[in-house]
Amino acid sequence: MSVNPIQIEILTKIRYPKYMALLEIKKYPDPILRKKCQEVKDYNPPTTLPPSAGPSVTEEIKKLGWDMVETMVENEGIGLAAPQVGELKRIIVVHPIEERTIEEKSKIKPQVFINPKIIKKSREAIIDEEGCLSFPGLFLKIKRAKEVEIEAQNEKGEKIRIETEGLPARIFQHEIDHLDGILFIDRISFWQKLKIRKKLKQWH
């Protein structure tokens, strides 16, 4: 997900491992954005770890997660899903900020979520503006559940559960949609779609 450039201030660089690399972001209408992603199962053999550690994530998956974080930050995004960088794996990165400010962005670290799943959604919904790094310059008002409960694995392979609301809840819903080939243009009304028809045609 991306935010309106008007709301963006320059982000102070957060330090990540040196071997990270920027990835190319697939833009709409790249057909990969419509594919369903596979669950990540390629863990290291658990025998190499103490039983309490649980399964660990392979170096390849870890690197992909970090590269996705760097790519997201570099492109001033607040969320990114693996199919957007050409990987059909159920991995998302989220910058779980409450407000779109530079202070918030430097205070909170972006995180990698593997096999994320929405297990609960509030009935209450909020309409707010969203962008997407695969649709540069397009911002749409999207209705999303106000609160969601997420189950996922972190970059260590540990099972985690998060209850979140507001902007982070929106980011999770947007990114998890990507893993099933669902894009934010699928979540708008017929009338909104008519309005952006020309813009979408330009991309085809």
Binding site for Co ion (CB under 5 A): 132
Residue with smaller CB distance to Co ion, 132 or 145: 132
Q: Among 95, 115, 64, 90, which residue's Cα sits nearest to residue 167?
A: 95
Quote the least distance from Cβ 186 to Co ion, whole Å: 11
Residue with smaller CB distance to Co ion, 72 or 132: 132
Residue with smaller CB distance to Co ion, 85 or 132: 132
DSSP letter for each residue of the chain: -B--GGG--PPPPPP--TT----PPPPTT-GGGGSPPBPP--EEPGGGS-GGG--EE-HHHHHHHHHHHHHHHHTTBSEEEGGGGT--BSEEEE---SSSSHHHHHHS--EEEEEEEEEEE-S-EEEEEEEETTEEEEEEEEEEESEEEEEEE-TT--EEEEEEESHHHHHHHHHHHHHTT--GGGGS-HHHHHHHHHHHHHH-
Quote the least distance from Cβ 190 to Co ion, whole Å: 21
Whether 175 is catalytic: yes
* Two structure tokens written together for 49: 């770890």
Q: Which of 70, 87, 155, 175 is catalytic?
A: 175
Quote the least distance from Cβ 133 to Co ion, whole Å: 6
Quote the least distance from Cβ 180 to Co ion, whole Å: 12
Q: Which residue is nearest to Co ion (CB)?
A: 132
Catalytic residue positions? 175
